Amino acid sequence: MRAVIQRVLSASVTINGKIKSEIETGLLILLGIEEADNQEDIEWLCRKIVNMRIFPDKEGVMNNSLLDVNGEALVVSQFTLHASTKKGNRPSYIQAAKPEIAIPLYEGFVAEFQSLIPSEIRIGEFGANMKVSLVNDGPVTILIDTKNKQ
C-alpha cells in the first residue's frame, strides 16, 4: 500500500463538475493498493498517518498530529501510485490491484482511519475520473509505502 500524504489548508474532489467531498485543515491522502496488500498494511498505515507529527505547534515546529489539531481527512484512491516506469515511456500499472481486490481494501482503509479520528472521513469515488484540488500547507508532502516499514 502506498500513500501520498499532503498537509492541506483545504482540499476537494469534483466528479462530473460537482463537488463530491471537501475538507479544510487536515490531510489529503492519495492511496494506491496492490495485490499483496492486506489488513496488516491497513492497520499499520492508518496508525502511522494519524500519529504522524507534521502539523505545527505554537512555535511553528512540526510537532502535532492530525489528532492534536482535530484535522480532517480526504482519502482518494489512486492506482497510478503503483506505476512502473522501468521500461519505455508508457507507465505500466500491472502491480496495482484489480478492483475486486482494491475496493474492499480501500473501504477497509477508510473504515480503519475513521475509527481513529473524530471527524468524518471524506472520500473520492473509486474508479471515477476525479478532479482533486488542494492548497498544500507548507508545502508538506510525504510518501509512505507499507513494504518499507523497517
- Which sequence positions are flagged as catalytic? 80
Cα–Cα–Cα angle for 94, 100, 102, nearest 5°?
65
> How far is 150 from 141, CA to CA, in rounded Å?
20
Q: Which of 15, 7, 143, 144 is nearest to 74 (CA)?
A: 7
Residues 73, 24 contacting (CB under 8 angstroms): no
